[in-house]
Amino acid sequence: MAYVRASWHTAPMVTENFIAPAERNVKSNRRFQNVSFILPTIGILILLFAFVMLCFQVAAAMNIPRVDVPTVSDKSPFGHPGLYRLKDGSYQAYFAADVARFNPSTMTIPVGSKVLFFVTSPHQARGFAVAETTVNMEAGPGWVETTSHVFDKPDTYLLVCSLNCGLGHEDMYAKLEVK
Ligand SMILES: [Cu+2]
């Protein structure tokens, strides 16, 4: 016992740079934890970036038109949404799906018309569906969705948001009067 005690007391002094083995393990574990957190995060960010770029390329390849969100309400045609008659006798209908409303909220369409609908949303994804027809779209912010429909019979058609888009969703409707 005396020998052991003597060796303990004669052990080298702990210097400032000396790190006890247990403490060294803790530091090395922390470093490992930091790396194991940072690397997957960087990987996920790279994948996310690649996915967003891919979406833009797919949209460009599909020729999906876009609008400039901050100025969409200042410029035609979404700045002046409504029904436009083309030279060939067909119609284009522009709608902006905004918070708790469609703009315009009413539209009169001549019976028998072929209407090409354009819809965009400046803030978030909104639905656009005309009851009793096959018109049903989803417009993301800045994206312009289109579809067409021929209105053969006179009626009042209800236009609703077909996407549960949150606050004000239940107030999102408009009327299309075909006569
Ligand atoms: Cu909605």
CA of 86 relative to ligand 1 center, distance in Å: 30
| Residue 178 backbone phi and psi in degrees, to 5 | -100, 115
Q: Are 77 and 118 in contact (CB under 8 A)?
A: yes
CA of 165 relative to ligand 1 center, distance in Å: 4
Q: How confident is the model at residue 22 (pLDDT cuts 50, 70, 90)?
A: low
CA of 122 relative to ligand 1 center, distance in Å: 13
Residue with tokens 């002046």: 80
Q: What is the mean pLDDT of residues 31-52?
A: 82
CA distance 95 to 168: 17
Q: What is the mean pLDDT of residues 33-53?
A: 83
CA of 102 relative to ligand 1 center, distance in Å: 10
CA of 127 relative to ligand 1 center, distance in Å: 6
CA of 103 relative to ligand 1 center, distance in Å: 14
Q: What is the mean pLDDT of residues 114-129?
A: 93
CA of 96 relative to ligand 1 center, distance in Å: 13
CA of 124 relative to ligand 1 center, distance in Å: 10
User: Does domain 69-178 correspond to CATH entry 1.20.120.450?
Assistant: no
CA distance 117 to 20: 73
| Residue 167 backbone phi and psi in degrees, to 5 | -55, 125
In the predicted model, what is the mean pLDDT of the chain? 83
CA of 18 relative to ligand 1 center, distance in Å: 64
Tell me 169's DSSP state.
G
CA of 163 relative to ligand 1 center, distance in Å: 5
Instruction: Quote the pTM value.
Output: 0.65
CA of 38 relative to ligand 1 center, distance in Å: 38
Q: Domain extents for the chain? A: 2-61, 69-178
Percentage of the chain with pLDDT > 90? 47
| Residue 84 backbone phi and psi in degrees, to 5 | -120, 135
User: Which one-letter amino acid corresponds to residue 97?
Assistant: A
Percentage of the chain with pLDDT > 70? 78
CA distance 106 to 28: 67
CA of 72 relative to ligand 1 center, distance in Å: 19
Structure tokens at 132: 């009793």
The string of pLDDT tens digits covering residues 46-98 is: 888 888 877 667 666 566 678 777 777 777 788 889 999 999 999 999 999 98
